[in-house]
Amino acid sequence: MTRPELGGLYAITPEMIDTSGLVTMTQQALTGGARLVQYRNKTAGTALRLEQAYSLAHLCRKFGVPFIVNDYLDLAVEVGADGVHVGRDDASVAEARRRLGKGKIIGVSCYNRLELAVEAERDGADYVAFGAFFDSPTKPGAAAAPMDLLDHARRKLHVAVVAIGGITSDNAGELISRGANAVAASSALFATGYIRSAAENFSRLFQSNPTADCLFPDHSSV
């Protein structure tokens, strides 16, 4: 995949055992306009994670949408994922770049701390993620991120900014207008009985917001 856009609806898959069901649900999100997909499963065993990651990677390739693996760098390498998302206890940006190679996407959780994002950008990350901006059923108790963090990030950073945490199509508009290139959603997509239409609602927010923008990873100096 060449120079993927980093913007729009970022679908975070739910944790579930049924691989076929997971693929079907993710396909509905992609049909509705999801522009990035992240596979996140903290509880599955190694074999199930491998099965699901391979299946989702294949699906995302059909849609021409980047497939990102959360946390598990080895898994991202094995399934040929388009990138990896790391947190404070995961592989470093440098290690991820060395293992994945030039042209892959590296995202970094920066929670509510702009200085972590500045460091991640300096280390070669392609996007940074801030949150939680709202109460999140996926990560209850996550540190709260103030809305004006996006204002500061837009002025300070040159990489894509992802907003995460309790985001719905009702509250995502302000995040986009304040500088989020992408909004990550899990429950607001996959815990509904209408995944495709929920994704379409998110996608329309980007289409109608004149400040919304997609960025392209710049690996020219990697």
Q: Please list the pLDDT of the chain residue by residue as tens digits (222 residues).
A: 444 679 999 999 999 999 999 999 999 999 999 999 999 999 999 999 999 999 999 999 999 999 999 999 999 999 999 999 999 999 999 999 999 999 999 999 999 999 999 999 999 999 999 999 998 777 777 889 999 999 999 999 999 999 999 999 999 999 999 999 999 999 999 999 999 999 999 999 998 875 666 666 776 544
Instruction: Tell me what pLDDT residue 34 has.
Output: 98
Instruction: Tell me what pLDDT residue 217 has.
Output: 73
Taking the C-alpha atoms of residue 124 and residue 97, their distance in angstroms, rounded to an integer, is 8
Instruction: Tell me what pLDDT residue 220 has.
Output: 53
Instruction: Give yes or no for a contact between 89 and 8, defined as CB atoms under 8 angstroms apart.
Output: no
Taking the C-alpha atoms of residue 133 and residue 112, their distance in angstroms, rounded to an integer, is 9
DSSP for 157-168, please give it: --SEEEE-SS--
pTM of the model: 0.93
Taking the C-alpha atoms of residue 74 and residue 65, their distance in angstroms, rounded to an integer, is 21
The residues carrying an active-site annotation are 40, 109, 139
Instruction: Tell me what pLDDT residue 127 has.
Output: 97
Instruction: Tell me what pLDDT residue 4 has.
Output: 62
Using CA of residue 167, residue 171, residue 175, residue 176, what is the dihedral sign? positive
Instruction: Tell me what pLDDT residue 28 has.
Output: 98
Instruction: Tell me what pLDDT residue 44 has.
Output: 95
Instruction: Tell me what pLDDT residue 19 has.
Output: 98
Instruction: Tell me what pLDDT residue 137 has.
Output: 78
191 prior amide bond cis, ω within 30: no
